[in-house]
Structure 1
Amino acid sequence: MDCDQLVRNGYVIVPDFLSAAHTRLLYQYAQQLPDYEWQQAGIGRADDYSTNTRIRQDKIRWLSRANTLETNYLNGLETLRLQLNRELFMGLFDYECHLAHYPPGAFYRKHLDAFKGRSNRILTTVLYLNPDWSSTDGGQLVIYGQRQEILETVLPEAGKLVLFLSDKFVHEVLAGQRDRYSITGWFRLNASIGGVIDPSR
């Protein structure tokens, strides 16, 4: 991965970050998960947590090391965490992520993943799983600059990874025409209090 681009721009887009075979297995795995494994995604945290389908309409499933396929992905992101710490001295402590399923027509309005000084989420990652995705399918990730100008419109192509600073870039997910699967995650600092990682502020 080009760490220099991440330093220059605050974000980087990595085509083919994950092999086609591994991406396909994750895509098939996400597709076959039963409905009860998914939960409606929400906004906010702890006492401020709520679901609001006018803002966010995806469903999520958190990854864990209880499953071999999920573990393999988490191991790959652990390797990336170590690279980022080695090359950029970011002090990233751990990583959390979830599968995201956007049914046809689902979207996520403009938002920030973290507010400066109020979260230990430092870097956001999004990995796309759908094969044969075209611009007519929609579902793009739009990344905005400080003046709300569009910096990138990212087509969710299989194996592509997007990383960006969580507290800097407002972004949104446009509605798509097909079921859209991805893995969204965050590299975090260690801001634990009383044994609780990333406690509510």
Structure 2
Amino acid sequence: MNTGYSIIPTALPAWLTDTLFTHQQLMEASKFKNAGVGRGKQYLKNEFVRTDAISWITGETKAGKAWLSWVADLQVYLNRRLFLGLFSFESHFAHYSPGDYYKRHYDAFKGESNRVLSLIVYFNSNWLASDGGELVLYQDQYDQTGIKVVPLMGTIVAFLSEEFPHEVLAANRDRYSIAGWFRLNTSMTDRVDPPR
């Protein structure tokens, strides 16, 4: 990952891909909420920016536990190999209905967040170019072309949260994924981060 990002098709173990895909398909619609931007008091629903629906993964289900256990092993591996100091992880299921999108954005702004590494996995079979919904990962704020990632089943995308603006193009069919972020510990005596 010396480029600051990694895109690996079918990298998520098949058993975990199947477990998470099945779980997401069986989730009740009421478990999903319209996504917003910001955190805490700055949280805002803004359909100009994004229109997807999300459900945070807490580890209360068998699938959630399996996912968080796999991610914990990945965190140990990344800390040992890349010395990133990753401290915690948060993630959610994401569902993009036909027409949904997420405009160009950063997952973290330099010096303002403790999100260090973004992680996305996909759960979509037989995805065609006409289905849209690609992740576009831009090299920097000036890049207008980007790298398009087809959201195919089991593909894992990881990138440095502060370095890569990205967007999700409008999907033409239901699109399923998990988005997550490894975080640093920036807690202080008068402030717990991330806030609960």
For Structure 1 versus Structure 2, the TM-score category normalised by the shorter chain is over 0.9
The one-letter code matched in structure 1 to 2:184 is: L
Q: d(CA) in 2 for partners of 1:93 and 1:19?
A: 23
Aligned to 1:150, the other structure's residue is in SS state coil
Partner of 2:38: 44
Q: Give, in angstroms, the shift of residue 199 of structure 1.
A: 4.5
The one-letter code matched in structure 2 to 1:110 is: R
What CA deviation, in whole Å up to 9, does each residue of 1:9-66 have, x standing for no partner?
A: 1100122221233212312211221121111100011221100111100100011121
CA RMSD in angstroms comes to: 1.5
The reply on whether 1:55 has 2:49 as its aligned counterpart is yes
The reply on whether 1:165 has 2:160 as its aligned counterpart is yes
Compare 103-112 and 11-20 and name the one that shifted more.
11-20
Any residues of structure 2 matched to 1:47-196 within 5 Å, and which? 47-146=41-140, 147-193=142-188, 194=190, 196=192
Q: d(CA) in 2 for partners of 1:80 and 1:179?
A: 28
Q: Unpaired runs of 5+ in structure 1?
A: 1-5
Q: Give, in angstroms, the shift of residue 152 of structure 1.
A: 1.1
Q: d(CA) in 1 for partners of 2:106 and 2:74?
A: 23
Partner of 2:194: 198
Q: d(CA) in 2 for partners of 1:14 and 1:39?
A: 29
Aligned to 1:9, the other structure's residue is in SS state coil
Do the aligned partners of 1:59 and 1:100 also contact (CA within 8 Å) in 2?
Answer: yes
Do the aligned partners of 2:115 and 2:181 also contact (CA within 8 Å) in 1?
Answer: yes
Q: Unpaired runs of 5+ in structure 2?
A: none
Aligned residue pairs total: 194
Q: Give, in angstroms, the shift of residue 144 of structure 1.
A: 0.8
Aligned to 2:146, the other structure's residue is in SS state strand
Do the aligned partners of 1:20 and 1:158 also contact (CA within 8 Å) in 2?
Answer: no
Do the aligned partners of 1:104 and 1:176 also contact (CA within 8 Å) in 2?
Answer: yes
Aligned to 2:186, the other structure's residue is in SS state coil
Q: d(CA) in 2 for partners of 1:167 and 1:46?
A: 20
Aligned to 1:30, the other structure's residue is in SS state helix
Q: Percent identity?
A: 43
Do the aligned partners of 2:49 and 2:102 also contact (CA within 8 Å) in 1?
Answer: yes
Runs of 4+ in 1 over 3 A off after TM superposition: none
